[in-house]
């Protein structure tokens, strides 16, 4: 009888302890927007994040995802987060430098050598340092997802040497670092929202664009572009951003669910992205794109042509930000 009483009390105590956590999870609907197609690895990440959220909230939360800029471009969506009219966006860091200039550090040309280096920086102290800056702008970065190394496609000629960039009309993201980088290479760089790129290429309003292989594939740029060159000129991450004003209305339990599940989505999205990168490269070649790599000697010339971009944007990004990034990269590389 005493044993039964103890078991009953223990069960009751456990149930009582669980009640506060359950009570802190309200019924919610989370709207997530993105500029890429659902077939992009971000779609896999969102699916994994949604499954995690449904499990941790016992179905109390609904995650509605919108693709291909259906709710507006990434900058528009991010502003909606800041005003508290939308919950979440998964966006490249590059369109957001007008909101937080320090994000421009990720746009500097030839910053990372490989994806492992990028992961270590983004998931470590430097990533947390950038998160604090975003919070001051009304944005909560739940996790860094992968956009990947960017490469150039065009409808004019293969890029085999520095001079091949001359006069090419290249769409760049809406920030001055990409603009200056491609102007330094001799192109006629044109800032443009991602959702407008396919039509601009199709109508020949522009000649070229630059993105990772997976985005080139899933966006079907092979339908309007003939050449793909492995420039690997930048690695820009995706950020899984949540509205600061809305996040602050959530309980600590709910906030932790968001962070945990965004990390689950990150891991799945990165895994799929890296597996699909080679597949996407093969896909676009099979679809008719001519692919070429660039010799080490010409890559050295290309890197030299854009070295001045670091100095030009040091003040706007923050000299302390660039110095911190370079110090952490040097430590990773054993320099």
User: Which tens digits make up the pLDDT trace of 50-81?
Assistant: 999 999 999 999 999 999 999 998 999 999 99
Tell me how far apart the alpha carbons of residues 311 and 31 are, in angstroms, rounded to a whole number: 39
Report, as an integer, the average pLDDT of 245-251: 98
The whole-chain average pLDDT of the chain stands at 92
pLDDT at 160 over 60: yes
Could you tell me the pLDDT band of residue 315, with boundaries at 50, 70 and 90?
A: very high
User: What pLDDT score was predicted for residue 236?
Assistant: 87
Q: Which residue has the higher pLDDT, 175 or 268?
A: 268
What domains sit in the chain, N to C, each tagged with a CATH number?
28-147+237-277 (3.40.190.170), 149-235+287-332 (3.40.190.170)
Q: State pLDDT tens for residues 273-283.
A: 999 999 999 99
33 by DSSP, 3-state: which?
strand
Q: Using the predicted structure, report yes or no on whether residue 14 has a pLDDT greater than 50.
A: no
Band (pLDDT 50/70/90 cuts) for residue 23 is low
Strand order from edge to edge, sheet including 290-292: 188-191, 169-172, 208-211, 149-154, 227-235, 290-292
Q: Which helix (H) or strand (E) holds 66?
A: strand 61-66
For residues 79-106, give the mean pLDDT.
95
DSSP-based three-state secondary structure for 234: strand
Find the Cα–Cα–Cα–Cα dihedral 241, 247, 250, 255, rounded to 10°: 40
pLDDT > 90: what percent of the chain?
84
Residue of 95, 204, 211, 195 whose CA lies nearest to 153: 211
**Structure-token match 């996040």, residue found:** 247
Q: Of 51, 33, 291, whose CA–CA distance to 151 is shortest?
A: 291
pLDDT of residue 207: 98
Dihedral of CA 13/15/18/24: which sign? negative
Q: Which residues on neighbouring strands pair with residue 65, listed in sequence order?
A: 32
The answer to whether residue 133 scores a pLDDT higher than 80 is yes
Burial environment of residue 99 by CB neighbours within 10 A (0 to 12, 13 to 18, 19 or more): middle
Q: Is pLDDT at 21 greater than 90 in this prediction?
A: no
Mean pLDDT in residue range 245-270: 98
């Amino acid at each position: 009888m005493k044993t039964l009483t103890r078991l009953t009390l223990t069960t009751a105590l456990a149930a009582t302890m669980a009640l506060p956590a359950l009570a802190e999870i309200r019924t919610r609907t989370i709207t997530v927007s993105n500029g890429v197609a659902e077939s992009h690895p971000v779609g896999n990440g969102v699916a994994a994040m949604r499954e995690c959220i449904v499990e941790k909230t016992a179905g109390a939360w609904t995650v509605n995802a919108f693709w291909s800029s259906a709710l507006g471009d990434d900058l528009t969506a991010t502003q909606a987060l800041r005003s508290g009219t939308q919950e979440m966006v998964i966006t490249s860091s590059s369109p957001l430098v007008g909101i937080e200039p320090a994000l421009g550090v990720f746009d500097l040309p030839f910053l990372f050598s490989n994806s492992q280096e990028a992961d270590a920086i983004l998931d470590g102290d430097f990533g947390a340092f950038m998160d604090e800056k975003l919070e001051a702008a009304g944005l909560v970065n739940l996790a860094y997802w992968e956009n990947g190394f960017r490469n150039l496609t065009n409808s004019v000629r293969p890029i085999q040497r520095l001079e091949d960039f001359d006069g090419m009309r290249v769409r760049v993201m809406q920030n001055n670092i990409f603009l200056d980088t491609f102007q330094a290479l001799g192109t006629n760089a044109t800032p443009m929202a991602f959702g407008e790129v396919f039509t601009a290429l199709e109508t020949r309003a522009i000649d070229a664009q630059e993105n990772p292989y997976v985005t080139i594939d899933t966006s079907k740029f092979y339908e309007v572009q003939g050449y793909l060159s492995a420039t690997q000129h930048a690695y820009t991450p995706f950020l899984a951003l949540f509205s600061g004003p809305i996040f602050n209305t959530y309980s600590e339990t709910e906030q932790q669910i968001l962070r945990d599940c965004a990390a689950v989505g990150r891991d799945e999205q990165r895994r799929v992205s890296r597996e699909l990168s080679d597949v996407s490269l093969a896909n676009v070649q099979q679809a008719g794109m001519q692919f070429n790599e660039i010799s080490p000697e010409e890559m050295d010339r290309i890197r030299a042509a854009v070295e001045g971009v670091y100095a030009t944007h040091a003040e706007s990004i923050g000299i302390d930000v660039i110095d911190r990034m370079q110090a952490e990269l040097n430590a990773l590389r054993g320099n």
